[in-house]
């Protein structure tokens, strides 16, 4: 980002922080704060952290005066949040946090990535409410301002959890460490959970094999180490009986079928893809980190210029980040695009050619923050 572009973005951020009503997290004075400041020409971002505030007014004045490019606060609560080392801060617990980032899930056009990560967020929230029985009043949902969502759980029951307990929870959410024998033993239940998801994924996989031409089905099975031609033929012949057993009479004995046990053990392939589609693909290290810094809701994301937008759970399904988290307007701004691209924003799609062009201010801010354009 060149100096002219930095000046443009910082000026727009300044106007935003002057006029906007910001919100602060609970127990603000127990949080550590971190900021990335505008630094034109710098080869890498550097964070100013170990900052503490005594109250909302002090925080908001700091944001208005300093105008950071990125604003973060700790998910942890500390006795001395502004202490210079982590050991001196005095950890008192931490919110339970889930981070869903489209970069870790799918690659593609920005709007498609946002749509995909919303699906994962909806699955996560359904798990928290329906399977863990969490109180929706303790859950805060936030669009990150970039490529995903943050879910904060502020229930005192979780605050003192260490990394190990949080690891068990995120493993469940992501479907890590599933025991096939446990999934395929016991009666079918109407209750949500991994047993139903696992059986549905396996049954769907076997139905899918039945849609393949015989040669393709054979090639698919024999392509797995340990499955020979005769075993594959027998397996395909018994496929419908295996499906019936999974759907109606599940038993751990089904794993005595060698071909099925090999299919289940694959770390990649069609069955694994179906199984993962049942999980909520949250970023595991974020949940297990009890001292994480996370973006402040209502601040601006320095990599997009969009608002880190808090949401009610009921708003997620209809929320459109490219309209609802956009805070800048439609006045014309001339930019020099570094590449040819399509940019959906504010209900329109802008087809931009490489070189100098005129775009709405909101699009200009986004492109410049992303490093895809400079102010012309």
267 with 188, same domain: the answer is yes
Phi, psi angle pair for 134, to nearest 5°: -70, 145
| 3-state SS class at 189 | coil
What does the alpha-carbon distance between residue 162 and residue 166 come to, in Å, rounded to a whole number? 6
79 with 100, same domain: the answer is yes
Q: Which listed residue (57, 111, 179, 283) is catalytic? A: 283
pLDDT score at 41: 63
Least confident of 161-170, 171-180, 183-192: 183-192
pLDDT score at 43: 62
- Residue 143's domain is classified under what CATH number? 3.90.920.10
Q: Which listed residue (57, 82, 99, 179) is catalytic? A: 99
Please give the residue range of the domain that contains residue 111: 3-174+283-324
pLDDT in tens, 15-26: 999 999 999 999
Least confident of 106-110, 205-209, 293-297: 106-110
Annotated catalytic, 99?
yes
pLDDT in tens, 110-134: 999 999 999 999 999 999 999 999 9
Annotated catalytic, 332?
no
Q: Which listed residue (82, 101, 111, 332) is catalytic? A: 101
Q: Check whether 238 has a pLDDT greater than 70.
A: yes
Give the closest residue to 169 by CA, choosing from 121, 131, 226: 131
Number of Cβ within a 10 Å radius of residue 212: 14
pLDDT score at 178: 92
Overall domain count for the chain: 3
Q: Which residues have C-beta within 8 Å of that of residue 356, sequence separation ≥ 6? A: 334, 335, 336, 337, 376
220 with 203, same domain: the answer is yes
Q: How far is CA 53 from CA 36, 152, 291, 310, in A?
A: 17, 21, 17, 22
242 with 314, same domain: the answer is no
Q: Check whether 85 has a pLDDT greater than 80.
A: yes
Pair 300, 291: CB distance under 8 Å: no
What does the alpha-carbon distance between residue 258 and residue 249 come to, in Å, rounded to a whole number? 19
159 with 44, same domain: the answer is yes
Q: Check whether 72 has a pLDDT greater than 90.
A: yes
Q: Check whether 318 has a pLDDT greater than 90.
A: yes
Annotated catalytic, 324?
no
Residue 40 confidence class, pLDDT cut points 50, 70, 90:
low
127 with 221, same domain: the answer is no
């Amino acid at each position: 980002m060149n100096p002219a572009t930095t000046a443009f973005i910082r000026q727009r951020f300044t106007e935003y922080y002057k006029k906007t009503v910001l919100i602060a997290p609970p127990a603000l004075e127990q949080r550590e704060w971190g900021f990335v400041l505008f630094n034109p020409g710098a080869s890498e971002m550097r964070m100013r952290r170990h900052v503490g505030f005594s109250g909302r007014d002090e925080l908001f004045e700091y944001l208005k005066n300093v105008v950071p490019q990125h604003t973060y606060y700790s998910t942890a609560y500390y006795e001395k949040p502004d202490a210079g080392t982590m050991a001196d801060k005095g950890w008192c617990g931490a919110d339970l946090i889930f981070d869903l980032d489209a970069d870790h899930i799918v690659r593609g056009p920005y709007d498609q990535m946002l749509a995909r990560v919303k699906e994962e967020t909806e699955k996560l929230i359904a798990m928290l409410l329906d399977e863990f029985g969490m109180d929706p009043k303790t859950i805060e949902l936030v669009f990150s301002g970039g490529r995903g969502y943050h879910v904060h759980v502020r229930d005192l029951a979780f605050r003192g959890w260490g990394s190990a307990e949080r690891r068990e929870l995120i493993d469940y959410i992501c479907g890590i460490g599933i025991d096939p024998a446990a999934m395929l033993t016991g009666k079918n239940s109407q209750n949500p959970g991994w047993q139903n998801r696992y059986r549905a994924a396996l049954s769907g996989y076997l139905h899918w094999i039945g849609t393949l031409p015989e040669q393709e089905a054979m090639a698919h099975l024999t392509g797995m180490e340990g499955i020979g031609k005769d075993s594959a033929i027998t397996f395909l012949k018994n496929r419908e009986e295996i499906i019936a057993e999974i759907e109606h009479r599940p038993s751990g004995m089904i794993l005595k079928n060698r071909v099925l046990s090999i299919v289940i053990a694959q770390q990649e392939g069609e069955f694994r893809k179906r199984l993962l589609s049942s999980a909520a693909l949250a970023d595991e290290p974020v949940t297990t980190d009890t001292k994480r810094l996370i973006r402040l809701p209502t601040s601006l994301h320095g990599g997009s210029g969009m608002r880190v937008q808090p949401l009610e759970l009921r708003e997620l399904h209809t929320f459109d980040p490219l309209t609802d988290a956009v805070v800048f307007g439609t006045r014309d701004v001339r930019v020099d695009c570094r590449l040819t691209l399509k940019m959906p924003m504010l209900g329109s799609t802008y087809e931009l050619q490489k070189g100098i062009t005129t775009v709405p201010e909101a699009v200009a801010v986004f492109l410049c923050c992303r490093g895809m354009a400079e102010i012309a």
